[in-house]
Structure 1
């Protein structure tokens, strides 16, 4: 996809507009809900802390914008029963999607089966909500570990695999994304992909869309199969569509 305006329009429709700042307030979330309703169409979802899901559900009623929230976040090693309880409460409050961090420290210690086991439990606790498994590729680093994490998350039943929390030094990269999208392709399963953190410009977004087109076929990337996790990139995407003089890249996650 070469036309920047076409890329920007697609990216907005696939955007999980995110505020996972430690100092986030309910008013910040209500403002995020407003930002998600752009003159060029709505974002796919917002991604927020669990405690704000109910307020966002009311605010977004009738818009079609989905609500994603996070569990086992960001470290990946919360008590499993607490993770299940938080998942159930978030869904009861109105969450449509659960972005869960896999227990990547266990994977680093050689316990790969812990990944698929926890993903499976969260899927069960979430009922019909969509599960995005966050691999934290910047901590796994090694290609073989990233591939293994992707395979284990898919085996556990994840509906999406996501690169990063945005809370570590290295977040989404094209090299880690390629490993994950190859794992999706090779699994033969209907699993989506979400790069998160570090997607700052319209060109960045286009690079990830192009990667999916290359490995999974032209047009594969839709809001049902592809998301971008970001906060600041919306400014850049809107500037592309409006021929504006906004910053060349968005600020933040």
Structure 2
């Protein structure tokens, strides 16, 4: 199942849910065809009349342009995140280190790293630790979100193992997915990661990414997170959603164009 069932939250106040979700959003554009014009449009969308998103997430070559444009429109507090080792998840720590250094030099404020999940499927845990350590070393104190590609790992025990390896190597956030594979975020994977995060001795965040397109989707994940980690966890410093489509639905809800949940996916 790719998306949560909306039935459990069909009677919820969608406007309140949308207001709660919008500041948690990493508004994302990770397309090979992205141009500076596309990135400027993304930045302008990020500062809505209902509030601002947490971050924009773009490819490294667009980091500088995004920061310049956000400052120009009076929204420098919106963070600029980028991806490394994306989307393939290679097992080359030197590549990861170089990409991360370049991203930091370009002005990235947050790093989203894909682990070598194929290596982990083959039984190589060391490759995951080495990849996260390489990025952690290169990005120093910047927030490091580690993409586990949970839909490809599939097995809850393996997802948990990947998350623990990432945390032990310095991850600040665990992130479900790249959004580039057939199965991305799922409620089951979110539950596994929430339970793992709850057990940690230090704060670790969670980013749900891939397939979160509607306010109801976000609400179902927030219910899982709040049930396991508490309401205080639901804050941009700890909780994010990565999406390119969710913002449109949030704004439709907040503008009154959508007032109740629609059935089906």
SS, match of residue 52 in structure 1: helix
Correspondences of 1:123-138 after superposition (within 5 Å): 123-138=136-151
1:29 aligns with 2:39: yes
2:124 to 83, 93, 111: 111
In structure 1, C-alpha distance between the alignment counterparts of 2:186 and 2:36, rounded to whole Å: 31
Corresponding position: 1:231 with 2:249? no
Q: Distance in 1 between matches of 2:31 and 2:38?
A: 10
TM-score normalised to structure 2 length: 0.90
Matches within 5 A, 1:163-174: 163-174=176-187
User: Contact between 2:150 and 2:176, CA under 8 Å: does it hold in 1?
Assistant: yes
Residue of structure 2 in register with 1:10 after alignment: 20
2:80 is paired with a residue whose SS is strand
**1:158-196 residue CA offsets vs partner (Å, 9 max, x unmatched):** 000000000000000101111111111112320000010
Query: Displacement of 1:44 after TM fit?
Result: 0.2
Query: Structure 2 CA distance, aligned partners of 1:188 and 1:11?
Result: 27
1:1-253 to structure 2, matched below 5 A, reads: 2-61=12-71, 62-63=74-75, 64-77=77-90, 79-245=92-258
Contact 1:50–1:70, Cα closer than 8 Å, also in 2: yes
Q: What SS does the corresponding residue of 1:176 show, helix, strand or coil?
A: helix
Question: Distance between the aligned counterparts of 2:258 and 2:187, measured in 1?
Answer: 27
The answer as to whether partners of 1:163 and 1:196 remain within 8 angstroms in 2 is yes
Deviation at 1:78, TM superposition (A): 5.7
Q: 2:5 maps to what in 1? A: none
Report how far residue 24 of structure 1 moved: 1.2
Large movers: runs of 4+ above 6 Å: none
Distance 2:87 2:35 in 1: 18
Structure 2 residue runs of 5 or longer lacking an equivalent are: 1-8
Instruction: Give 3-state SS (helix, strand or coil) of 1:73's partner.
Output: coil
CA RMSD in angstroms, aligned pairs only = 1.7
- Once the two structures are superposed, residues 79-132 of structure 1 have per-residue CA deviations (whole angstroms, 9 ceiling, x without a partner) of 322221121111111110000001111110111132122212211100221100
Unaligned runs of 5+ in 1: none
User: How far apart in 2 are the matches of 1:53 and 1:119?
Assistant: 21
Distance 2:152 2:174 in 1: 15
- Are the counterparts in 2 of residues 116 and 154 from structure 1 also a CA contact under 8 Å? no
| Structure-1 residue corresponding to 2:3 | none
Q: Is the 8 A contact 2:96 2:131 kept in 1?
A: no
